[in-house]
Amino acid sequence: MTMRLRELLVDRVAPLKNLSDRSVKMYESTLDRFRDFLGHEPTVDDLDDLTAAKFIRWRQSTVHDPRRGLISPASLAKDSAHLRSLWTWLAKKRWRRSDGELIEFPDYARPRVPKPVPKAYKAEELARLVEAARHRRGLVAGKPAAWYWTTKLQAMFQTGERIGAILAIRWAQVDLERHTLTFLAATRISRDPQGDGKLSEEGRNLGKKAAGPQQRGDGRE
């Protein structure tokens, strides 16, 4: 009798790969849909390229939950990856089907996931943000709020870095003489493992602009 994929997942793959409970549930969700497609609990013998390809097409075009509609490309790719992961594990272990034939590695096409189109602020929108930041009142960490918010916005605009990398900056990574910020590989997502963000003249003078003629260094007017 051939092994069921759900049994393989729970008894072997999950412990050996140290999968979390959440990951196991996600795998089981994929197996639930594969079961719905096949009409029976999926087994090792059901791992066939043509069967898998038809399952992916069926999954893509079938509404399983009226509240959610058709499956998203990312979720479809996740289902495909779960099935492929179990299949690849069997192939690496040189597992055999019930007829004694070795299981080969999967070769069906992976679903395509379209890359999201980046959305950016328009110039006038960014200008309004900076203008609003310049008029913030009160203090942030003991410094004028206008300084804090304008500096944050300008730093992201001038360097193109994400908010996480900006918030991770420490004084050791700030060079006031060279007017640069050094972003470490551990805190940034970029093509370069480490990079320097050089601030323009406008960025270097943002503190003066933020304070304005009526703003004192202690945050009082």
Q: Between 119 and 103, whose confidence is greater? A: 103
CA distances from 189 to 57, 116, 156, 192 (A): 34, 16, 13, 8
pLDDT tens readout for residues 37-94: 999 999 999 999 999 999 999 999 998 888 888 889 999 999 999 999 999 999 999 9
Indicate the angle between helix axes 49-61 and 73-92, nearest 10 degrees.
Answer: 160
Residue 95 has pLDDT above 60, yes or no: yes
Sorted by sequence, the CB contacts under 8 Å of residue 9 that are 6+ apart come out as: 24, 27, 28, 31, 86
Q: Between 14 and 205, whose confidence is greater? A: 14
Residue 13 has pLDDT above 50, yes or no: yes
* Per-residue tokens: 20: 């979390």
- What residues pair up with 69 in beta bridges, in sequence order? 65
Of 103-117, 136-150, 198-212, the least confident: 198-212
Distance CA 221, CA 217 (A): 9
Mean pLDDT of 25-32: 96
Q: What is the pLDDT of residue 206?
A: 45
pLDDT tens readout for residues 115-167: 878 788 888 898 899 999 999 999 998 989 999 999 888 888 888 888 888 88
Mean pLDDT of 176-183: 86
Residue 98 has pLDDT above 70, yes or no: yes
3-state secondary structure of 65: strand
Q: What is the pLDDT of residue 21?
A: 95
- When pLDDT is cut at 50, 70 and 90, the band that residue 201 belongs to is low
- What residues pair up with 65 in beta bridges, in sequence order? 69
Residue 197 has pLDDT above 80, yes or no: no
